[in-house]
Amino acid sequence: MKYMKCQICSNEDISTIYDGQIRDGGIGRYTDINVNMYQCQECGVIWHNLRERDLDEYYSSEDYRQELEGTSSENDFYRIHDGETLDKLYYTGTTVFRDKIVADLGCAAGAFLDSISGMAKTVIGIEPSNVYQTALKKKGYCTFAYASDAIQEYGGKVDVLTSFDVIEHVSDPLTFLKEVHALLREKGKAIIGTPTDAPVMRAMLGQIYEKELLFSTQHLWVFNQKSLMLLAKKAGFRKASVRYFQRYGLGNALSWLKYRQPKGNVSYSFITDTMDIVWKKELEAQGLSDYIVLNVER
């Protein structure tokens, strides 16, 4: 392997952990070529070096949603993603938004903002997609394409910033967090969620899980607690912590073992609510969940 340095911690001890096709958009779409996935042996972050796309152009166009979900329409976005709002409110709580200036970074058509707009003093949608910007403006939300644009008007003024499933898409995570820091007021808080490497699923399924779901051309990074905490420190946050959340239930894991493909949250009659809760809580308690949320304070 040629000389390489970790972009997150500058460590030079890098391992190639995967060499094969990875997901390229939606389920069942793969790269034409094998892709190397690398992992830093110091901070644990995982990444690939595919940088063929102009990311600004890609995410401002309809290409991203078309490749991922087969549609970029506003109504289809709500149909697909409205159900995630309850999960996001579980990550954030509700009291944090009351009478506050709130920004959602990478908000798409604004489904999460819709759920908190009645509580917040001001709602700011930051979203590069031209289609979704139109939807946000139609709702009367303050709308910006990028955090760097929002900083010009709201730098140092935002009370609470949320960002879900975004940081893994950006080429420079440190700059991403520095811009979050710049938007927040003193003692302002940010809640940033991202998928983990789902270690239990990888242990059970190995390269099947990695190819079919985990590793993706659109996800440049897979973060863990150590890499996120290091980034938060470098970005200048005075406080930082993480929480683990398990989104998918026991039925999902069993269906993976049966079908070797992602089937979402699958129900089996023998899986009781208690069994499912224990599955999720144990993975969260052991830091083995499929989702991690970084909480930071300026």
pLDDT for 74 beyond 90: no
pLDDT 10s digits, 219-240: 999 999 999 999 999 999 999 9
Q: Give pLDDT, residue 296.
A: 99
What integer best gives the mean pLDDT of the chain? Answer: 95
Q: Give pLDDT, residue 1.
A: 58
Region of poorest pLDDT, from 38-42, 70-74, 188-192 = 70-74
Q: Give pLDDT, residue 63.
A: 77
Reading the block at residue 288, the tokens are 């083995």
pLDDT 10s digits, 261-270: 999 889 999 9
* CA 6 to chain centroid: 20
Average of pLDDT values for 249-268? Answer: 95
Q: Which of 258, 240, 256, 237 is nearest to 248 (CA)?
A: 256
When pLDDT is cut at 50, 70 and 90, the band that residue 56 belongs to is confident
pLDDT for 68 beyond 80: no
pLDDT for 99 beyond 90: yes
210-245 burial: b if 16+ Cβ within 10 Å, else e: bbbbbbbbbbbbbbbbbbbbbbbeebebeebebebb
Average of pLDDT values for 104-121? Answer: 96
> 107 or 59: whose pLDDT is higher?
107
Q: So where are the chain's domains? A: 53-164
Average of pLDDT values for 106-132? Answer: 96
pLDDT 10s digits, 162-221: 999 999 999 999 999 999 999 999 999 999 999 999 999 999 999 999 999 999 999 999
Distances from the Cα of 154 to the Cα of 141, 164, 184, 187, 235, angstroms: 14, 20, 8, 15, 18
Q: Are 128 and 150 in contact (CB under 8 A)?
A: no
Q: Give pLDDT, residue 183.
A: 99
53-164 carries CATH number 3.40.50.150 = yes
